[in-house]
C-alpha cells in the first residue's frame, strides 16, 4: 500500500541517488548496507515499480526511478517545511497578520512594508485591505484585521491608538480646468467661484457614515478610491483635495495645479494617521514587527510625527 511508505524510506532513496551507491548512502546515513538495500527493496515493492537497475555492478536509477526521485524530494521538502512551520508556531510566531489601511496611506510605504515583511517572515500569511474613513476601524473592530491605519474621520472608539504621522491634503485641479488659470499662483480662490464647479469627493462604500469632509460646492461627484479621484481631477472634470505625497509628480509635471480656497487655512487639512488595534491584542513576532515598521516607513514616506513640511 502506498500510504504505508515512510519518510525514512524516501530519505534513504534520495541518499542513495545523491551518494551514487547503496554502500555510500549507508555510510552517510550511518546504517549497514543491508538495511539500505532492504529499505529500497521494500519501497520498490510498495510502489510496484523498479527504482534501480541492478544489472550493473553499481545499481543505477531506472527511468521510472528518476521521475519518482523528484517526487520524493518534493515530499521530503514539504515535510521539512511542515515541521519547521510547526516549530515556529509553537514558539509563538503568528500564522497570519492582517492589516487594513486608509486610502490616504502612502502606497509606496505599503509596498515597501509588504516587500520587507515577505523577506522577514516568508512563512507568515499577510492579508491587506484598503478602505476609507470609518470602514478601516470597522475591519479592526469586527476582527477581520488585527491592525488598522485610520485617518481623522474614523471613529476608533474601543480601540487602542498610536499616532503615526500627518498627511497634508491639497486642493488641486487639472491643468486644463478653468480654475487652473483663474488666479495667480498662491492667490485665494473665493468660495463663490469654487461653487460654480464640480467638486470631486471621496466617500465611503455603501453610503456615507462619516461627516462630510471639506465640501464647499453643491455640485459633487463621489468616488470611493483616491486613484479614481486623481484620474478624474487630472482629466479636468472638477476640483478636490488629494494627499500631497500622492501627487508630487503630477504637480511637478504640471498635470495637476494647486489652488488655495479662501475658506481654508494653509494647514487646515493636515490629517493625522494613527495605527489602531483591539485592546489586549497579543501580537506575535510578525505582528510586532509590522507595528514597528508601520511607524518607521510611514514617517519616511510622508514626514515626521508632527506636521509635514
Q: What is the model's pLDDT at position 231? A: 95
Task: Extract the C-alpha cell encoding 46.
Answer: 510498495
CATH code 3.40.50.970 for 95-309: no
Residue 262 contacts residue 189 (beta carbons within 8 Å): yes
Q: Which residue has the higher pLDDT, 156 or 244?
A: 244
Domain with CATH 3.40.190.290 in the chain: 95-309
Q: What is the model's pLDDT at position 306? A: 42
**pLDDT classification of 277: cutoffs 50, 70, 90:** confident
Q: What is the model's pLDDT at position 1? A: 47
Q: What is the model's pLDDT at position 307? A: 38
Q: What is the model's pLDDT at position 90? A: 56
pLDDT per position as a tens digit, 8-27: 888 888 888 888 888 888 88
Point out which residues pair with 166 in neighbouring strands: 272
Q: Is it the case that residue 301 has pLDDT exceeding 80?
A: no
**Lowest mean pLDDT, pick from 39-43, 282-286, 294-298:** 282-286
| Percentage of the residues of the chain whose pLDDT score is greater than 90 | 22
**pLDDT classification of 89: cutoffs 50, 70, 90:** low
Q: Is it the case that residue 223 has pLDDT exceeding 80?
A: yes
**Class (C level, CATH) for 2-90:** mainly alpha
pLDDT per position as a tens digit, 159-202: 888 888 888 899 999 999 999 887 667 788 899 999 999 999 98
Give the up-direction half-sphere exposure of residue 9: CA atoms within 13 A in the CB hemisphere: 17
Burial (CB count <10 Å: 0-12, 13-18, 19+), residue 295: middle
Quickly list H helices, the chain.
7-19, 22-29, 33-47, 63-90, 107-120, 134-141, 191-194, 226-234, 248-253, 285-302
Q: Distance between CA 78 and CA 2 in Å, rounded?
A: 18
| C-alpha distances out from residue 3 to 6, 43, 48, 51, 117, Å | 8, 11, 13, 18, 37
pTM of the model: 0.61
Residue 277 contacts residue 159 (beta carbons within 8 Å): yes
Residue 94 contacts residue 127 (beta carbons within 8 Å): no
Q: What is the model's pLDDT at position 164? A: 84
The chain-wide mean pLDDT, for the chain, equals: 83
- The overall longest dimension of the chain from CA atoms, in Å, is 97
Burial (CB count <10 Å: 0-12, 13-18, 19+), residue 89: middle
Most confident listed range (73-87, 140-154, 225-239, 272-286): 225-239
Residue 275 contacts residue 161 (beta carbons within 8 Å): yes
Domain with CATH 1.10.10.10 in the chain: 2-90
Q: Distance between CA 6 and CA 8 in Å, rounded?
A: 5
Amino acid at each position: 500500500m502506498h500510504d504505508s511508505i515512510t519518510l525514512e524510506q524516501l530519505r534513504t532513496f534520495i541518499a542513495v541517488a545523491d551518494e551514487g551507491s547503496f554502500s555510500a548512502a549507508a555510510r552517510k546515513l550511518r546504517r549497514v548496507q543491508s538495511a539500505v538495500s532492504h529499505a529500497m527493496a521494500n519501497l520498490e515493492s510498495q510502489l510496484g515499480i523498479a527504482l534501480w537497475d541492478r544489472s550493473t555492478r553499481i545499481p543505477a536509477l531506472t527511468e521510472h526511478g528518476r521521475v519518482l526521485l523528484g517526487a520524493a524530494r518534493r515530499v521530503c521538502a514539504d515535510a521539512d517545511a511542515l515541521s519547521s512551520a510547526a516549530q515556529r508556531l509553537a514558539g509563538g510566531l503568528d500564522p497570519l497578520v492582517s492589516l487594513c489601511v486608509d486610502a490616504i496611506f502612502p502606497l509606496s510605504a505599503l509596498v515597501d512594508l509588504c516587500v520587507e515583511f515577505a523577506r522577514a517572515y516568508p512563512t507568515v500569511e499577510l492579508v491587506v485591505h484598503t478602505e476609507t474613513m470609518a470602514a478601516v476601524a470597522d475591519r479592526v473592530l469586527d476582527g477581520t484585521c488585527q491592525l488598522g491605519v485610520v485617518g481623522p474621520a474614523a471613529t476608533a472608539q474601543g480601540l487602542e491608538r498610536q499616532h503615526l504621522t500627518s498627511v497634508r491634503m491639497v486642493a488641486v485641479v487639472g491643468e486644463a480646468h478653468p480654475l487652473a488659470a483663474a488666479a495667480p499662483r498662491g492667490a485665494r480662490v473665493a468660495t463663490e467661484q469654487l461653487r460654480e464647479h464640480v467638486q470631486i469627493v471621496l466617500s465611503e462604500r455603501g453610503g456615507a457614515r462619516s461627516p462630510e469632509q471639506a465640501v464647499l460646492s453643491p455640485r459633487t461627484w463621489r468616488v470611493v478610491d483616491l486613484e479614481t479621484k486623481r484620474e478624474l481631477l487630472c482629466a479636468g472634470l472638477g476640483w478636490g483635495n488629494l494627499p500631497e505625497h500622492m501627487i508630487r509628480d503630477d504637480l511637478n509635471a504640471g498635470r495637476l495645479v494647486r489652488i488655495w480656497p479662501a475658506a481654508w487655512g494653509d494647514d487646515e487639512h493636515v490629517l493625522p494617521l494613527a495605527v489602531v488595534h483591539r485592546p489586549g491584542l497579543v501580537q506575535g513576532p510578525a505582528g510586532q514587527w509590522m507595528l514597528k515598521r508601520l511607524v518607521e516607513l510611514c514617517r519616511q514616506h510622508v514626514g515626521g510625527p508632527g506636521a509635514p513640511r
